[in-house]
């Protein structure tokens, strides 16, 4: 769909301000009743029903049922005319599962690829293992309206589009915290990096739950979330890069900056003072939220919309608990936060299981139909009379637990984020959507997002591990600053310098256009 020249022309304009471009596009996707919803057609291309297998992640304790016991899933199939054979895979193990599935050759007909620069995926694309879908988008009215070239270019490979991206807001990351604990201690919500430390200390030492026991701590960390969430939030707030930035004319990784070192030292101090969980190196994925849900921890990093759906266990345990959030902390450059890429993975279609163009078109018709307004309502509210009721013309969730079990993770089968807003929408989501808008201009972009580095594709995971392990060891005190520098030197020797050169060349090509 996109030729290389067009790709670079856009990137020239977008590399320096990609967050703004995507933010403008995403305001519609997150801010209210958009034209997209008003114009969404009841697309039926082609007419016949479609049956296909699909693999997606899930993030709750259990995946939603995909049989007649789940009325939401049955309604999804009825509304789209699809019969879905869904394999739900735990989110914490999903990337590994994608690699194993690719290696096995036994692929579903559609699968989410969350790490679009995974070397195994890039190699498979270049070997012709996946359908190029860019040329087909124009044939589907809802997909065509949904399509945003800035986001599509971010997931492109060699100028071509091999998947249907799953759009997400740009300004989505933040700190979530126990507002009732802040209230108990007479504290204000965090506005700066120093506030994060001070609040974590108070949550650890000052009995925020007022039970007379020393049984709480400040900030819940996980090994994978440390670098992907917490460090990026802190570094951008301190004025640094979101993963990669430009320094002295070269693409530079954020862990080779003073801001990263400052953030590491802060987390080491918090670790030494027992303000974070001592076992964070062994915690992965959504398990980090368990500390909040069990009433043990007061803060966690994540997507701010998690406040609406990921803490039902906490409310069941402690009905008076309150979760609130901030996106962006104030630092030397004002309020800053890391920009998301505008998508969370993409649906891809292997040629080994999708045999013909006709089969591909049938499957793409499902993704066109999930953009219909009635399907979006289903994803947002579930089935009327089961998950929600209608009051004064507006849907109201009537059984939150059933909704969480049967509907919430069905959202992994959609491509667009919710852009439905109702007068009865809860205050949490109203604030979330407003913050998406307000903080988009403050989101710091990763300058390499639109580009591919062969070295990153081939060795990126191994190179990341060097820095992830060294960061964890530094915080835990098993290595010092000099040894962390040795780890960055090792990263450079093992391919990091080559990656930097490749990204810099791509960046300079755009600047010279």
Q: What is the pLDDT of residues 449-470, one digit of tens each?
A: 888 899 988 898 899 999 999 9
Ranges of each domain in the chain: 4-171+341-438, 173-338, 454-512
pTM for the structure as a whole: 0.72
Cα separation, 106 vs 97, whole angstroms = 12
Check whether 184 has a pLDDT greater than 70. Answer: yes
Q: Strand, helix or coil at 469?
A: helix
Whether omega before 46 lies within 30 degrees of 0, making that bond cis, reads: yes
Distance CA 241, CA 18 (A): 14
Neighbours of 62 (CB within 10 A): 10
Could you name the CATH architecture of 173-338?
A: 3-Layer(aba) Sandwich (3.40)
SS3 content of the chain, % helix, strand, coil (to 5): 50, 15, 30
At 108-144, the pLDDT tens digits run 999 999 998 888 898 899 999 999 999 999 999 999 9
CATH class of 4-171+341-438: alpha beta
CA distances 248 to 163, 245, 251, 252, 504, Å, are 35, 10, 8, 9, 11
**C-alpha pair distances (Å), 54 with each of 112, 132, 277, 350, 497:** 8, 18, 37, 11, 38
With beta carbons less than 8 A apart as the criterion, state whether 163 and 348 touch.
Answer: yes
- In tens, the pLDDT along 25-75 reads 333 333 333 334 443 444 444 445 899 999 999 998 899 999 999 999 999
4-171+341-438 and 173-338: identical CATH topology: yes
| pLDDT tens track for 201-237 | 999 999 999 999 999 999 999 998 888 889 999 999 9
Residue 366 DSSP SS3: helix
């Amino acid at each position: 769909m996109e030729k290389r020249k067009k790709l670079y022309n856009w990137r020239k304009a977008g590399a320096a301000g990609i967050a703004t471009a995507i933010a403008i596009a995403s305001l519609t996707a997150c801010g209210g009743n958009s034209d997209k919803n008003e114009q969404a057609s009841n697309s039926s291309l082609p007419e016949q029903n479609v049956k296909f297998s699909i693999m997606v992640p899930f993030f709750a304790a259990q995946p939603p049922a995909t049989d007649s016991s789940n009325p939401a899933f049955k309604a999804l199939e009825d509304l789209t005319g699809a019969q879905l054979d869904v394999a739900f895979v735990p989110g914490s193990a999903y990337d590994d599962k994608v690699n194993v599935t690719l290696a096995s050759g036994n692929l579903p007909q559609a699968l989410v690829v969350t790490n679009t620069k995974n070397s195994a995926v890039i190699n498979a694309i270049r070997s012709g293992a996946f359908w190029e879908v860019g040329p087909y988008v124009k044939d589907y009215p809802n997909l065509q309206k949904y399509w945003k070239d800035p986001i599509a270019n971010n997931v492109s490979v060699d100028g071509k589009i091999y998947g249907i991206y799953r759009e997400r807001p740009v300004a989505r990351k933040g700190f979530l915290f126990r507002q009732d604990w802040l209230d108990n201690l007479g504290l204000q919500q965090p506005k700066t990096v120093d506030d994060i430390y001070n609040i974590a200390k108070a949550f650890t030492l000052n009995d925020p739950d007022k039970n007379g026991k020393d049984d709480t701590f400040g900030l819940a960390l996980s090994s994978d979330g440390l670098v992907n969430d917490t460090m990026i939030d802190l570094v951008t707030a301190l004025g640094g890069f979101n993963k990669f930035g430009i320094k002295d004319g070269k693409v530079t990784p954020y862990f080779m900056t003073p801001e990263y070192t400052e953030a590491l030292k802060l987390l080491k101090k918090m670790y030494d003072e027992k303000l974070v969980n001592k076992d964070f190196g062994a915690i992965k994925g959504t398990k980090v939220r368990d500390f909040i849900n069990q009433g043990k921890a007061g803060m966690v990093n994540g997507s701010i919309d998690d406040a609406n759906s990921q803490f039902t266990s906490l409310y069941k345990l402690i009905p008076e608990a309150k979760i609130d959030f901030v996106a962006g902390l104030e630092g030397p450059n004002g309020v800053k936060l890391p920009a998301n890429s505008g998508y969370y993975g993409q649906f891809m279609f292997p040629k080994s299981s999708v045999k013909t163009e006709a089969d591909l078109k049938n499957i793409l018709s499902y993704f066109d139909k999930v953009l219909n307004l009635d399907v979006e309502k289903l994803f947002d509210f579930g089935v009327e009379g089961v998950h929600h009721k209608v009051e004064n013309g507006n849907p109201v969730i009537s059984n939150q637990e059933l909704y969480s079990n049967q509907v919430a993770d069905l959202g992994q089968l959609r491509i667009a984020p919710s852009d439905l807003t109702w007068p009865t929408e809860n205050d949490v989501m109203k604030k979330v959507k407003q913050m998406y808008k307000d903080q988009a201009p403050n989101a710091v972009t990763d300058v390499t997002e639109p580009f591919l580095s062969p070295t990153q594709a081939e060795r990126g995971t191994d190179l990341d591990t060097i820095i992830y392990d060294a960061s964890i060891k530094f915080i835990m005190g098993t290595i010092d600053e000099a040894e962390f520098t040795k780890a960055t030197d090792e990263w450079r020797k093992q391919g990091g310098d080559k990656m930097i050169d490749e990204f810099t060349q791509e960046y300079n090509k755009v600047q010279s256009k």
